[in-house]
């Protein structure tokens, strides 16, 4: 796998979108979450071009979405592809955790006329992108930038909660294929415990993803409103963030504050578990949108709040990934190196 230090060198340059491509030239790559399906082409010289985002809800399955992407971009049929999905991907039958797609790997390959189809987890793809991301697409929060090759973790709230990492191995990196977002949620203090009990009443066992995701931010806002005896409104995650940052809705403000704090706790637990002294990277569709609000939140305080191991965690840097399509870079790297 890749051997550069995460965040140390520029990623693949964007080729111009108007080059004439033939079948032999191109590979198809995709990063497919519960809401968004992001497609692009890798050219023979390794450039990622024609990146587009489609809404999963508009398509029957990934083959249907991929065909629509290729037609829309006026592209010929590719021979090979790497698709990264937000769900377990080790069996032929793949069932997306956060949308209704349920499909066969072999059938998808056949439908798209591919000679080779690689299917990996979306956060494994994001982890594989880290050695290729330019430092300008990373925003450091706390800790000390580490030298040398050390394990790194990546977490990201989106429609779900993605988790992965890279372990140094034989001069390169081993990526983790993880479903860590479904680990149990750990809360702290009376208020968070009340919210957890409220969510338990609704879901039964509460995983981290039930809170640390777009739907999770909505669940937090609703729980807080109900615990305070107020009727919650139907608000999208972006609306909760907008109201919270405008400081004109107390339940939204507290929901976002607790969201960032719980992500800090979760990321710190993951750093301890993985021994991720090289850093924890934060991606997904929500945190990169928060800008300074996230930096000013309790995220870092809770990341470091690890009792006797607090000084160990305090040295670990966190980085918000601000690149546009980072997991596509990882899918391209997988296709090239696997």
- 32 close to 84: Cβ distance less than 8 angstroms: yes
Distance CA 291, CA 279 (A): 19
Site pattern 73..92 for ligand ATP (x: CB under 6 A): -------------x------
Using CB under 6 A as the binding rule, whether residue 211 contacts ligand ATP is answered as: no
Nearest approach, Cβ of residue 338 and ligand ATP (Å): 21
DSSP secondary structure of 59-78: SSSHHHHHHHHHHHTT-PPP
Grouping H, G, I as helix, E, B as strand and the rest as coil, residue 32 is strand
Grouping H, G, I as helix, E, B as strand and the rest as coil, residue 148 is coil
Using CB under 6 A as the binding rule, whether residue 289 contacts ligand ATP is answered as: yes
Q: Which segments of the chain does DSSP mark as H helices, in order?
A: 62-72, 105-111, 122-129, 189-203, 214-227, 237-246, 250-274, 292-295, 299-304, 310-314, 326-337
Nearest approach, Cβ of residue 154 and ligand ATP (Å): 12
Using CB under 6 A as the binding rule, whether residue 245 contacts ligand ATP is answered as: no
Distance CA 336, CA 1 (A): 9
Strand partners, 167: 174
Q: Which segments of 52-206 does DSSP mark as H helices, in order?
A: 62-72, 105-111, 122-129, 189-203
**Candidate segments 155-163, 168-176, 198-206, 268-276, binder of ligand ATP by CB under 6 A:** 155-163
Q: Shortest Cβ contact with ligand ATP: which residue?
A: 214
Using CB under 6 A as the binding rule, whether residue 180 contacts ligand ATP is answered as: no
Using CB under 6 A as the binding rule, whether residue 216 contacts ligand ATP is answered as: no
31 is in an annotated binding site: yes
289 or 322: whose CB is closer to ligand ATP?
A: 289
Using CB under 6 A as the binding rule, whether residue 35 contacts ligand ATP is answered as: yes
157 or 317: whose CB is closer to ligand ATP?
A: 157
Q: Is the dihedral of CA 261, 265, 267, 268 positive or negative?
A: positive
Nearest approach, Cβ of residue 34 and ligand ATP (Å): 3
Nearest approach, Cβ of residue 20 and ligand ATP (Å): 31
27 or 99: whose CB is closer to ligand ATP?
A: 99
142 or 160: whose CB is closer to ligand ATP?
A: 160
Using CB under 6 A as the binding rule, whether residue 26 contacts ligand ATP is answered as: no
Using CB under 6 A as the binding rule, whether residue 178 contacts ligand ATP is answered as: no
Report how far apart the first and last C-alpha atoms of the chain are (Å, whole number): 7
Best CA proximity match to 220, nearest among 286, 233, 212? 212
33 is in an annotated binding site: yes
**Candidate segments 143-151, 230-238, 243-251, 304-312, binder of ligand ATP by CB under 6 A:** 230-238
Note the residues at the interface with ligand ATP (CB under 6 A): 33-36, 86, 98, 122, 158-160, 162, 214, 236-238, 241, 284-286, 289
């Amino acid at each position: 796998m890749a051997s550069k230090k995460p965040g140390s060198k520029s990623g693949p340059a964007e080729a111009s979108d108007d080059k004439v491509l033939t079948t032999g030239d191109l590979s198809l790559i995709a990063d497919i979450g519960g809401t968004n399906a992001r497609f692009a082409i890798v050219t023979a010289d390794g450039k990622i071009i024609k990146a587009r985002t489609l809404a999963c809800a508009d398509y029957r399955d990934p083959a249907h979405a991929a065909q629509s992407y290729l037609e829309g971009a006026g592209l010929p049929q590719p021979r090979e592809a790497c698709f990264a999905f937000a769900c377990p991907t080790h069996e032929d039958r793949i069932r997306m955790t956060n949308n209704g797609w349920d499909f066969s790997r072999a059938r998808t390959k056949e439908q798209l006329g591919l000679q080779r189809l690689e299917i990996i987890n979306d956060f494994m793809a994001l982890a594989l992108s880290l050695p290729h991301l330019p430092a300008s697409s990373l925003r450091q929060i706390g800790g000390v930038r580490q030298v040398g090759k050390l394990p790194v973790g990546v977490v990201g709230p989106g429609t779900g909660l993605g988790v992965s990492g890279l372990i140094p191995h034989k001069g390169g990196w081993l990526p983790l294929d993880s479903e860590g977002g479904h680990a149990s949620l750990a809360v702290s203090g009376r208020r968070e415990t009340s919210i957890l009990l409220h969510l338990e009443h609704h879901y039964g066992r509460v995983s981290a993803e039930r809170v640390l995701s777009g739907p999770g931010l909505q669940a937090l806002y609703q729980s807080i409103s109900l615990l305070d005896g107020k009727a919650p409104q139907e608000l999208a995650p972006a609306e909760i963030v907008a109201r919270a940052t405008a400081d004109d809705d107390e339940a939204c403000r507290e929901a976002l504050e607790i969201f960032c704090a719980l992500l800090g706790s979760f990321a710190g637990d993951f750093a301890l578990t993985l021994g991720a002294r090289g850093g924890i990277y934060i991606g997904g569709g929500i945190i990169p949108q928060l800008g300074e609000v996230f930096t000013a939140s309790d995220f870092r305080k809770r990341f470091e709040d690890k009792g006797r191991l607090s000084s160990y965690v305090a040295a670990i840097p966190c980085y918000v990934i601000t690149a546009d399509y980072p997991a596509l870079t990882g899918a391209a790297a997988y296709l090239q190196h696997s």
